[in-house]
Amino acid sequence: MNESSIPHMQGPICPLPIKSYEQIVMGHGAGGKMTQDLIRQYFVPNFSNPFLLEGNDFSFVQTHQSGRIVVSTDAHIVSPLFFPGGDIGRLAVSGTVNDLAMSGGIPLGLTASFILEEGFSISTLEKIIVSMAATAQEAGVPIVAGDTKVVEKGKADGIFISTSGVAWVPDHLHIGGAFAQPGDTVLISGTLGDHGIAVLSARGELGLETEIKSDVAPLNHLVQSIVQYTRNVHVLRDPTRGGLATTLNEIAVQSQVGIILNESSIPVDPVVGSTCEMLGFDPLYVANEGKMIVFVPANEANGVLDVMRSQKFGENAAIIGRVESTPTGKVLLKTIIGGTRLLDVMSGEMLPRIC
Amino acid sequence: MNESSIPHMQGPICPLPIKSYEQIVMGHGAGGKMTQDLIRQYFVPNFSNPFLLEGNDFSFVQTHQSGRIVVSTDAHIVSPLFFPGGDIGRLAVSGTVNDLAMSGGIPLGLTASFILEEGFSISTLEKIIVSMAATAQEAGVPIVAGDTKVVEKGKADGIFISTSGVAWVPDHLHIGGAFAQPGDTVLISGTLGDHGIAVLSARGELGLETEIKSDVAPLNHLVQSIVQYTRNVHVLRDPTRGGLATTLNEIAVQSQVGIILNESSIPVDPVVGSTCEMLGFDPLYVANEGKMIVFVPANEANGVLDVMRSQKFGENAAIIGRVESTPTGKVLLKTIIGGTRLLDVMSGEMLPRIC
């Protein structure tokens, strides 16, 4: 399974001329000359970095002699491939960068494996690769290894991308879903539901056009600004599939605490809000791809809020709730009209193929 | 993209009863209650380990305070999913364990991302998960994080699995495709072509039944036995897609050396050999999934051969060739009848969806 892995390209020294194609054919996944051509022509020039160019099936990442190593992975199957504010390439890089960053650590490198459908347009593939490379550059995280496979026409949907990565976490940080404590304040980095509504809109399933753009973005710099301001961060998590409500339920269960949200404080773009209302969606259950939840002790909350608001992807950050010891494993919403309701985990299908 | 990642399961503490299904439905990929049910019911009990159970979108792996970290990834799309000697689960674990192991390092943890087709049988999924867990146990490498996505019926082919992983390489080892040197001896760990022929046979494409079993296996223990015997190892690589010939060409180019093989020394199972002859395949270009190539200085070769032959997956190991300074970037085969021919990189498609 190694021959088409990206590190295997010998770009500068391969003696054979590259043959170009307009569409993916089965031979592009066979691990021979055609696979090498595809990789040398599109992946190498875009993803180029010293780690990638070593030419093995494994790739080194930057080494640290203290701290801990974390890993993460995600498959990306979003449909359509391009949507307002992003595409599957930006999503694939941001998704894994963000999962890694939620450890408080610094992502060291990503890997990417591609499943391509026979007949897929190579110019579309190139656009996606360029977007991945730009997002990786924006995040400052190199794509160090990869793999390419091809399946027959009709056996996939154009392109699927699985990314994984590794990050370094310094010894002094202890951040995770199990570390929420009664007395913590809950912050969100910006408006909710933008990604899900942007993808639905691009799919033409809304029956209307919206100007909503996906928020898809790498959040590792925002995370670093927070953990450099204070080591006293308990939980970081990005509310993706299932939205804020599902993610907070997971944290409430992991930490065995109750989470109380103030509906009036939760930022929602007015267009997203009205679109959701029209369609019967709740923005608290709609996916985000460039937002993060932060749990810190109450005395750190205002300082962290200021730090977040000073950052590109945290401008609309807000304090949205607090942690209490009960009801254990539950999330409650104090509604705008003064009531309290239970926010449950999303059940079943809401928005398929959103990421 | 985090909510259905395997670490997110809260298996022991989730308060809701698990609902069972016979087939994958879209909701299993939506990140809510159904995704959690799938994960709690099938992934948690099989993959269970302390790293996985921490419940975040990232997962820690074992930490070392010296050495270097390597990463690798592979997508797996083999068809059929089950074949003599293995299945897509054993392949997905072995493939990434082997890519990591070829650094000489010790794999610390794997991640797995699943793309499932709506309607896929959950009992088949369970068989695959059980096989992955058994192979991970055999390798001694935990599966520490994962992700599950679902696409509509007809948009994938049952199941695709991307695995990635991280390994620790001690400072004293410097193994890679660029380190072959004139004077090195080339060894192979066993017979060639078994995996490719086993998969073709299972597909019914041979027009005949064979008793050939795939060699798919994790080779990390075999690698450790070699690097514990001698630090003086230059290249390790598993000849997967494209087979021995393509892999050696890559190494010849990376190291800028010539590689000379003795055809009479290359181990091929007689049934694989005769099947290949009948079908017009060359076993040197057929994929292997449990074999490795070893380059060591000539004076280490017999010792390494003995070590390999003492190991489960190295019983049929053999010395098959040597490295010379020329012809640079080429692989030559000394044939049984006394001639010499150039062994080129495989061009185009030979055996689609073999891994």
Q: What is the pLDDT of residues B251-285, one digit of tens each?
A: 999 999 999 999 999 999 999 999 999 888 999 99
pLDDT at A347 over 90: no
- Per-residue pLDDT tens digits for B102-150: 999 999 999 999 999 999 999 999 999 999 999 999 999 999 999 999 9
pLDDT at A156: 97
Are A72 and B57 in contact (CB < 8 Å)? yes
pLDDT digits 0-9 by tens, A285-338 = 999 999 999 999 999 999 999 999 999 999 999 999 999 999 999 999 999 999
A4, pLDDT greater than 50: no
In this structure, chain B runs to a length of 355
Instruction: Domains for chain B: give ranges and CATH numbers.
Output: 6-169 (3.30.1330.10), 184-342 (3.90.650.10)
- Structural Rg of chain B based on CA atoms: 21
Query: CA of A175: which chain B residue's CA is closest?
Result: B56
Residue B182, pLDDT > 60, answer yes
- Give the CA-trace dihedral at B28, A72, B162, B253, to 10 degrees: 170
Higher local confidence (pLDDT), B325 or A203? B325
CB–CB of A32 and B352 under 8 A? no
pLDDT of A167 higher than 80: yes
Mean pLDDT calculated for residue range A150-177? 96
Which residue does chain B place closest to A25, by CA atoms?
Answer: B349
Q: DSSP secondary structure string, A200-264?
A: HHHTT-SSS-----------HHHHHHHHHH-S---EEE---TTHHHHHHHHHHHHHT-EEEEEGG
- Which amino acid is residue A202, in one-letter code? A
A42-65 pLDDT, tens digit per residue, is: 998 899 787 777 777 888 888 787
Confidence of residue B30 (pLDDT cuts 50, 70, 90): confident
CB pairs under 8 A between A and B: 361
Could you tell me if A224 and A106 are in contact, meaning their C-beta atoms sit under 8 angstroms apart? yes
- What are the two backbone dihedrals, phi and then psi, of residue B281, each rounded to the nearest 5 degrees? -95, 155
- The three-point CA angle B93-B97-B100 to 5° equals 150
pLDDT for position B211: 85
Which residues in B lie closer than 8 A to residue A159 (C-beta atoms)?
Answer: none
DSSP symbol at B112: E
**Structure confidence at residue A348 (pLDDT):** 64
pLDDT digits (tens, 9 = 90+) for B230-260: 999 999 999 999 999 999 999 999 999 999 9
B interface test, pick of A19, A28, A56 with most B CB neighbours within 10 Å: A56
By Cβ distance, the residue of A4, A105, A155 closest to B156 is: A155
- Chain centroid offset of residue A211 CA: 22
Distance from CA of B225 to the nearest CA of A (A): 19
Identify the band that residue A17 occupies on the pLDDT scale cut at 50, 70 and 90. Answer: low
Report the chain B residue with the minimal C-alpha distance to residue A240: B1
C-alpha separations of A91 from A132, A223, A316, B4 in Å: 8, 18, 21, 16
More confident residue, A210 or B199: B199
At A181-195, the pLDDT tens digits run: 999 999 999 999 999
Query: Nearest C-alpha of chain A: how many angstroms from B49?
Result: 15
Q: What is the mean pLDDT of residues B169-189?
A: 96
Q: How confident is the model at residue B352 (pLDDT cuts 50, 70, 90)?
A: confident
* Per-chain mean pLDDT for chain B: 91
The pLDDT score that the predictor gives to residue B9 is 33
Q: What angle do CA B280, B284, B287 make, to 5 degrees?
A: 95
Tell me the shortest Cα–Cα distance from A299 to chain B, in angstroms: 25
Average pLDDT over residues B75-84: 97
How much is the pLDDT for B348? 64
Whole-angstrom Cα distance, residue A266 to residue B160?
38
Mutate to test the interface with A, among B58, B147, B148 (most CBs of A within 10 A): B58
Residue A36 burial (10 A CB sphere; 0-12, 13-18, 19+): buried
Other beta carbons within 10 angstroms of residue B110's beta carbon come to 31
Q: Which of A255, A226, A263, A238 is nearest to A330 (CA)?
A: A255
Q: In this complex, which of A29, A30, A69 lies closest to B60 when CB atoms are compared?
A: A69
Average pLDDT score over residue span B291-313: 98
HSE at residue A96, side-chain half, CA atoms within 13 A, is 38
- Give how far B332 is from chain A: nearest CA, Å: 16
Q: Which chain B residues are within 8 Å of A32, Cβ to Cβ?
A: 241-242, 246, 345-348, 350
> Between chains, do B31 and A346 touch, taking CB under 8 Å as contact?
yes
Indicate whether A1 pLDDT > 70. Answer: no
User: DSSP letter string over A30-97?
Assistant: SSSHHHHHHIIIIIHHHH--TTGGG-SSSEE----SSSEEEEEEEEE--SSSEETTEEHHHHHHHHHH
Residues A76, B247: C-beta atoms closer than 8 Å: no
Q: Is A105 helix (H, G, I), strand (E, B) or coil?
A: coil
Q: How confident is the model at residue A5 (pLDDT cuts 50, 70, 90)?
A: very low
Coil/strand/helix, residue A196:
helix
pLDDT of residue A16: 54
Mean pLDDT of chain A: 91
Q: What is the value of pTM for the model shown?
A: 0.93
